[in-house]
Structure 1
Amino acid sequence: MITTKIKYKATGLKWISEIPEHWELKRLGGLFDERNETVSENDFNPLSVTMQGIVPQLESAAKTMHVDNRKKVCIGDFAINSRSDRRGSGGLSALEGSVSIVNTVLKPSAYYLPEYTHFLLTNKLFQDEYYAKGKGIVADMWSTRFSEMKTIFLPVPPKAEQDEIVQYIKAQEEKINLFIQKKQRFIELLKEQRQTIITNAITKGVDDNTKTKNSRVEWLGNVPEHWKIVRLKFLGESFIGLTYSPIDLVDKDEGTFVLRSSNIQNGKFTTDDNVYVNKEIPEKLILKKGDILLCSRNGSAELIGKNILIDEESEGNWFGAFMTVFRSDLNYYLYYFFNSNVFKSQTALFATSTINQLTNGILSNLTIAFPENIDEQKRIIEHIKTETATIDTAIAKADREIELIREYKEAMIAEAVMGKRK
Structure 2
Amino acid sequence: MTNLAGANLNNGAAVGPQGEGRESPSSFPEYPAYKASGVEWLGEVPEHWTVQPLKRAIAKIESGTSVNAADYPAEPGSYGVLKTSCVYTGQFDWRENKTVDDEDLNRVSCPLKIDTLVVSRMNTPDLVGATGLVTEAPAGIFLPDRLWQVYFEKNQSASFVFYFTKAPEYREQVKNACSGTSSSMQNLGQDDFRTLLFVEPPVAEQTQIARFLDHETARIDALIEEQQRLIELLKEKRQAVISHAVTKGLDPTVPMKDSGAEWLGEVPAHWETLRIGAVYSEAADKGLAELPVLRVSIHHGVSDKELSEEESDRKITRIDDREKYKRVRPGDLVYNMMRAWQGGFGAVLVDGLVSPAYVVARPKNEDISRYVEQLLRTGCAVEEMRKNSYGITDFRLRLYWDQFKNIVIVIPPEVERQQIMERIDSLINESEALKSEADRLIVILQERRSALISAAVTGKIDVRGWQPPARAQAPVLEAEAV
Contact 2:302-2:348 within 8 A present in 1 as well? no
Q: Identify the residue that residue 156 of structure 2 maps to in structure 1.
A: 112
- The structure 1 residue matched to 2:83, chosen from 42, 48, 60, is 48
Q: Identify the residue that residue 209 of structure 2 maps to in structure 1.
A: 165
State the distance in 2 between where 1:292 and 1:162 align.
56
1:368 corresponds to 2:409: yes
State the distance in 1 between where 2:417 and 2:145 align.
51
1:203-250 superposed Cα distances (whole Å, 9 cap, x missing partner): 13456786543213344232234544345577578xxxxxxxxxxxxx
Q: Identify the residue that residue 16 of structure 1 maps to in structure 2.
A: 42
- The structure 2 residue matched to 1:328, chosen from 361, 376, 389, is 361
Q: Equivalent pairs: percent with the same residue?
A: 20
- The structure 1 residue matched to 2:430, chosen from 374, 379, 390, is 390
DSSP 3-state at the match of 1:360: coil
DSSP 3-state at the match of 2:267: strand
Contact 2:301-2:347 within 8 A present in 1 as well? no
DSSP 3-state at the match of 2:242: helix
Letter in 1 for 2:142: G
State the distance in 2 between where 1:307 and 1:90 align.
35
1:419 corresponds to 2:459: yes
Letter in 2 for 1:305: Q
User: How many angstroms does 1:130 deviate by?
Assistant: 0.9
State the distance in 1 between where 2:159 and 2:301 align.
33
1:184 corresponds to 2:228: yes
TM-score when scaled to structure 1?
Answer: 0.69
User: How many angstroms does 1:36 deviate by?
Assistant: 4.1
Letter in 2 for 1:382: E
State the distance in 2 between where 1:20 and 1:308 align.
59
Deviates further, 48-57 or 407-416: 48-57
In structure 2, the CA distance between the partners of 1:347 and 1:368, relative to structure 1 (3 Å rule), is closer
Contact 1:135-1:142 within 8 A present in 2 as well? yes
Which is helix-richer, 1 or 2? 1
Q: Identify the residue that residue 121 of structure 1 maps to in structure 2.
A: 165
State the distance in 1 between where 2:301 and 2:131 align.
25
State the distance in 2 between where 1:177 and 1:325 align.
42
State the distance in 1 between where 2:336 and 2:448 align.
35
State the distance in 2 between where 1:420 and 1:195 align.
47
In structure 2, the CA distance between the partners of 1:367 and 1:358, relative to structure 1 (3 Å rule), is farther
State the distance in 2 between where 1:110 and 1:419 align.
22
User: How many angstroms does 1:179 deviate by?
Assistant: 1.6
State the distance in 2 between where 1:7 and 1:100 align.
44
Structure 1 residues not aligned, in runs of 5+: 60-65, 238-258, 298-303
- The structure 1 residue matched to 2:132, chosen from 59, 78, 91, is 91
- Structure index of larger Rg: 2
Contact 1:73-1:105 within 8 A present in 2 as well? no
Contact 2:121-2:189 within 8 A present in 1 as well? no
Q: What's the C-alpha RMSD, in Å, of the aligned pairs?
A: 4.9
User: How many angstroms does 1:317 deviate by?
Assistant: 8.9
In structure 2, the CA distance between the partners of 1:35 and 1:163, relative to structure 1 (3 Å rule), is same
Structure 2 residues not aligned, in runs of 5+: 1-26, 70-77, 99-103, 283-294, 363-367, 463-482
DSSP 3-state at the match of 1:91: strand
In structure 2, the CA distance between the partners of 1:359 and 1:175, relative to structure 1 (3 Å rule), is same
Q: Identify the residue that residue 101 of structure 2 maps to in structure 1.
A: none
1:53-96 superposed Cα distances (whole Å, 9 cap, x missing partner): 3545578xxxxxx9999874632242123344343633234443
DSSP 3-state at the match of 2:143: strand
1:238-263 superposed Cα distances (whole Å, 9 cap, x missing partner): xxxxxxxxxxxxxxxxxxxxx999x9
State the distance in 1 between where 2:408 and 2:238 align.
22
Letter in 2 for 1:16: L
Q: Identify the residue that residue 445 of structure 2 maps to in structure 1.
A: 405
